[in-house]
Structure 1
Amino acid sequence: MAQPDGTDGVLPEGISSLLDTDLYKLTMQCCVLKYFPDVHVTYNYTNRTPHMKLNRAAYRWLQTQTDKLARISLSEDELQYLRKNLTFLNEPYLRYMSTFRLDPQKQVKLSFTPEQDTGGDEDVGDIQLHTEGLWVETILYEIPLLALVSEAYFKFIDKDWDHAGQIDKAKDKGTKLLQAGCIFSEFGSRRRRDYHTQDLVLHGLRQAQDDGEHGGWPGKLSGTSNVHFAMRHGLPPVGTVAHEWFMGVAAITNDYENASETALRYWVGTFGQGVLGIALTDTYGTPAFLRAFKKPIPSYTTAEPGAAATNPSAAAGSTISSVDTLSETKPPLHAPISKPNPRETSVPTYAQVFTGVRQDSGDPEGFIKMMRSFYDAEGITDKKTIVFSDSLNIDLCLKYKAAAEAQGFQPTFGVGTFLTNDFTRLSTGEKSVPLNIVIKIASVDGRPAVKISDNIGKNTGDKETVEEVKRRLGYQEKEWAEGDEKARWGKEGEKASDATSLK
């Protein structure tokens, strides 16, 4: 059938490209390859909307699509796109990716538990989804598996919808954001209705962008987090780092008191200062992160080109020869960087070097005030960016924009599920509610990996470890009145007229 861009190609079912993922999976994979190539991890799936279940037909389709991931590899065009457009990815990583393959038969365990087992396709139940293997390999499963689960649900369970009007709906949303002066990107891969929906949404956003350029609107469509769609639509791929990076480093070191700084050191050691410079603050609570963020960057925490990029660190004191291969690299348990010389008064801090921060949990307006107080206390007068990415809609973007600008910040927005899974049921006009599903890293070399966040509803991982980390960090529990994870994007029976309040 003809596509919105005038082509006659048939859009794929499921996942057909390794780049059909968020940019930060590639940047983190680059770091993992450099520092932790032989670390073993596990990932667990959680459905935060447990009343929304699959049936056996959906499970079987999901299993087939998961198995098909083994057939995917990067094309030469995709490799050249990465080399040309994502210049911060080092050459050893690109060489690694040129032959990379997923192995879902060994790495992904998928099962189905029906509520009442008749053996039929319509039996409804829960799926169990577990991933395990080398971190550097399994890191790429999260986004495609979540997208496939969502697609399966709306292909076999909630089928009372169609794609009609998705371009116009996305164009209208983009128009409102651009006219209001919002800088925003599309972040909707993991919970999209399906591939076709995300493609239609980006067509609509591009139309709004074109209108904005001709009309002189103050806002900007800054890109998409999905690398495949960035390539397909000629948009910038955007993103930096996820909670997974901090969770993994913390679990490896078991040094939660210094884990945020250690993770930052590795990050700067891979990409250099000022590159991919939006910091994610809430893995172990923003206050704990800010204690690390204000520390000086060791002067030899630098990313080096050539053979040095294959080493676990280019820092002085590394015991790895510059000619060792990636397969022979043995990562250290701690960042191999000693404490900075207190006499070096000109050494910048992470907070000075990083462009800004990302807010992903808890009260956004409280976060704005906290960051203003932090930067003021550190004497940082540069205009910093806050990226808001937690369950946004138009009203929230405008609200947080005003609050951030009033405090002297440049706000930007990563808008996801509101764009790629905003549908109504054809028969009733009621909202067709998205799944709230996540896949989180669960263990690293046998040690639990946990996330605490700025909202109790987003705590993740082994409960005993979560409590231990809270105690070690002096974490103060926080609950946000709007942080109900079971109703983030609406409730069953809600009318389509309430769509502007979709969260």
Structure 2
Amino acid sequence: MVDIATRVYNHKWKIDPIVRSLIDTDFYKLLMCQSVFRNKPDANVTFSLINRTKTLRIADIIDEGELREQLDHVRSLSLSRGESTWLRGNTFYGKRQMFRPDFMEWFENLRLPAYHLEKVDGQYELTFEGTWPEVMLWEIPALSIIMELRSRAVLKDMGKFELQVLYARAMTKLWEKIERLRQEPNLRVADFGTRRRHSFMWQDWCVQAMREGLGDSFTGTSNCLIAMRREVEAIGTNAHELPMVYSALAKDDAELAQAPYQVLQDWQDEHDGNLLIILPDTYGTKGFLDNAPDWLSDWTGIRVDSGDPAIAAETAIDWWTARGQDPREKLIIFSDGLDDTKIMDLFKQFEGRVRTGFGWGTKLTNDFRGLVPNDALAPFSLVCKAVAANGHPTVKLSDNPNKAMGPQDQITRYKRVFGVGDQEKIEVEV
């Protein structure tokens, strides 16, 4: 096991590129990329970095030269032979050859496209524009780089023993969470923490700790590189990006209303089993379910990613029941702002009523809250989203208006088309 503190002190991170592989990314990005490669390969999409925590002026903390160096390094990466073999031959979700030969041939020859970077009022404007399958793979590396450069900036002046104590405290803090979670042997928890992790090495340590501490209750990691190296399951399905871009490409209101369902029809053409997970909150969970075609109720489960998780789960249970389905056979994956207490509370609330899973993110892989002066390592809300497709802006409404994005006139239009009324604002937890 790597001595993280010593590695940080001795080398000041110089031997460690932040992103060391094109598969140092979330599994759902590759699944979605294959779907996009098949269904919308020529769509021109723009992604943009968005710092929701406006009080944190990241451009004042992170050196622009170091940021460019890390971004340029990612552009030099390509799949290794071992990585390609793993993707082509490994079994994912019980399925051999998850990735088609035509997609793999394209991926093996891929180099990520150019980026545009500038400083504006204490923030970095970082954008990527190009064909959808290429630019979408910038999302996770961009977030990982910004998050880790911030960590490095805070740690760079710490002494050897100070770093040893810091990481010992962080390890203890995580292990105490694991000890609480393993009191429930039927719990199922996965690592979803790649995008806002403290560092690659820290995420790798967290995965190893989860595997040892939780045993069979640990179901895997979203990070493909760590999954391959540590021989654990790669976990992930799909994200808001798909309905956001499909909707932006819609020609009129009628096509817009059907876009979120067309996404899942295309998804169903490729996947089955535990990959048939609905993410219903892009334009409001209740309206999505009320208007959903009957065939969607046969899907395996639903992921809850915004709003009050208990209300969303109750809405899903009511929907399944009304459609003649047994909720006890369905799966709800909670993935929004989780920590050990919220995981335990939700598990106890819904145990026996539905199968539950938990995607534990930032507070697993980046919980250094209270461990350094001025809380300088506290996690912050950073996202990298598709903001335009073929020149049309994308929109996300969410079940929490604090997570909404898009031009106001388009937000108003989408609320009308999808029948979204008043929503309760909830503080965004990372």
- Match for residue 335 of structure 1? none
Gaps of 5+ in 2: none
Question: In structure 2, which of residues 36, 45, 52 is the aligned counterpart of residue 48 of structure 1?
Answer: 52
Q: Distance in 1 between matches of 2:124 and 2:17?
A: 20
Cα deviation, residue 173, structure 1: 2.3
Cα deviation, residue 158, structure 1: 6.7
CA-to-partner distance for each residue in 1:241-291, whole Å, 9 max, x for gaps? Answer: 00001111111124221112111111112x144361111110111123214
Cα deviation, residue 450, structure 1: 0.8
- Match for residue 394 of structure 2? 449
- Match for residue 260 of structure 1? 260
| Contact preservation (8 Å) 1:282, 1:359 | yes
1:206 aligns with 2:211: yes
Query: Which residue type is aligned with residue 427 of structure 2?
Result: D
| Contact preservation (8 Å) 2:169, 2:371 | no
- Match for residue 404 of structure 1? 350
- Match for residue 181 of structure 2? 177
Root mean square deviation, CA, Å: 2.3
- Match for residue 164 of structure 1? 168
- Match for residue 133 of structure 1? 130
Count of aligned pairs: 405
Query: Which residue type is aligned with residue 356 of structure 2?
Result: P
Query: Which residue type is aligned with residue 384 of structure 1?
Result: K
Q: Distance in 2 between matches of 1:84 and 1:166?
A: 37
Identity %: 32
| Contact preservation (8 Å) 1:172, 1:208 | no
- Match for residue 282 of structure 2? 283
Question: In structure 1, which of residues 112, 119, 126 is the aligned counterpart of residue 119 of structure 2?
Answer: 112
- Match for residue 327 of structure 1? none
Cα distance change, pair 415–275 in 1 and its aligned pair in 2 (3 A): closer
- Match for residue 93 of structure 1? 103
Secondary structure of the structure 2 residue equivalent to 1:21: coil
| Contact preservation (8 Å) 1:166, 1:201 | no
Q: Distance in 1 between matches of 2:415 and 2:126?
A: 28
Cα distance change, pair 429–462 in 1 and its aligned pair in 2 (3 A): closer
1:381 aligns with 2:354: no
| Contact preservation (8 Å) 1:70, 1:101 | yes
- Match for residue 65 of structure 1? 70
Q: Distance in 2 between matches of 1:425 and 1:32?
A: 41
- Match for residue 422 of structure 1? 367
1:484 aligns with 2:430: no
Cα deviation, residue 234, structure 1: 1.1
CA-to-partner distance for each residue in 1:438-493, whole Å, 9 max, x for gaps? Answer: 1111111111111111010110122211111101221113114xx213xx25xxxx
Q: Which of these two proteins has the greater Rg computed from alpha carbons?
A: 1
Q: Distance in 1 between matches of 2:358 and 2:119?
A: 37
Cα deviation, residue 32, structure 1: 0.8
Q: Distance in 2 between matches of 1:277 and 1:33?
A: 19
Cα deviation, residue 142, structure 1: 0.6
Secondary structure of the structure 2 residue equivalent to 1:139: helix
CA-to-partner distance for each residue in 1:219-247, whole Å, 9 max, x for gaps? Answer: x1000011111111111000100000111
1:224 aligns with 2:252: no
Cα deviation, residue 199, structure 1: 1.4
Question: In structure 2, which of residues 145, 148, 162 is the aligned counterpart of residue 148 of structure 1?
Answer: 145
Secondary structure of the structure 1 residue equivalent to 2:273: coil
Q: Distance in 2 between matches of 1:56 and 1:429?
A: 14
Q: Distance in 2 between matches of 1:234 and 1:365?
A: 33
Q: Distance in 2 between matches of 1:400 and 1:205?
A: 19
Cα distance change, pair 438–158 in 1 and its aligned pair in 2 (3 A): farther
Cα deviation, residue 172, structure 1: 3.1
CA-to-partner distance for each residue in 1:379-432, whole Å, 9 max, x for gaps? Answer: 1125101000000011101111122225x1111100011111111465649573
Question: In structure 2, which of residues 25, 30, 34 is the aligned counterpart of residue 30 of structure 1?
Answer: 34
Q: TM-score, normalized by length of structure 2?
A: 0.88
Q: Distance in 1 between matches of 2:300 and 2:127?
A: 36
| Contact preservation (8 Å) 1:356, 1:386 | yes
Cα distance change, pair 169–466 in 1 and its aligned pair in 2 (3 A): same
Secondary structure of the structure 2 residue equivalent to 1:423: coil
Q: Distance in 2 between matches of 1:292 and 1:266?
A: 18
- Match for residue 309 of structure 1? none
Secondary structure of the structure 2 residue equivalent to 1:281: coil
Secondary structure of the structure 1 residue equivalent to 2:16: coil
Q: Distance in 1 between matches of 2:289 and 2:312?
A: 12
Moved more, 80-89 or 378-387: 80-89
Cα distance change, pair 163–473 in 1 and its aligned pair in 2 (3 A): same
Q: How does 1:312-351 map to 2 (within 5 A)?
A: 349-351=295-297
Cα distance change, pair 292–32 in 1 and its aligned pair in 2 (3 A): farther
Moved more, 358-367 or 396-405: 396-405
CA-to-partner distance for each residue in 1:26-81, whole Å, 9 max, x for gaps? Answer: 01100111011111001122111111123275222111101111110111111111
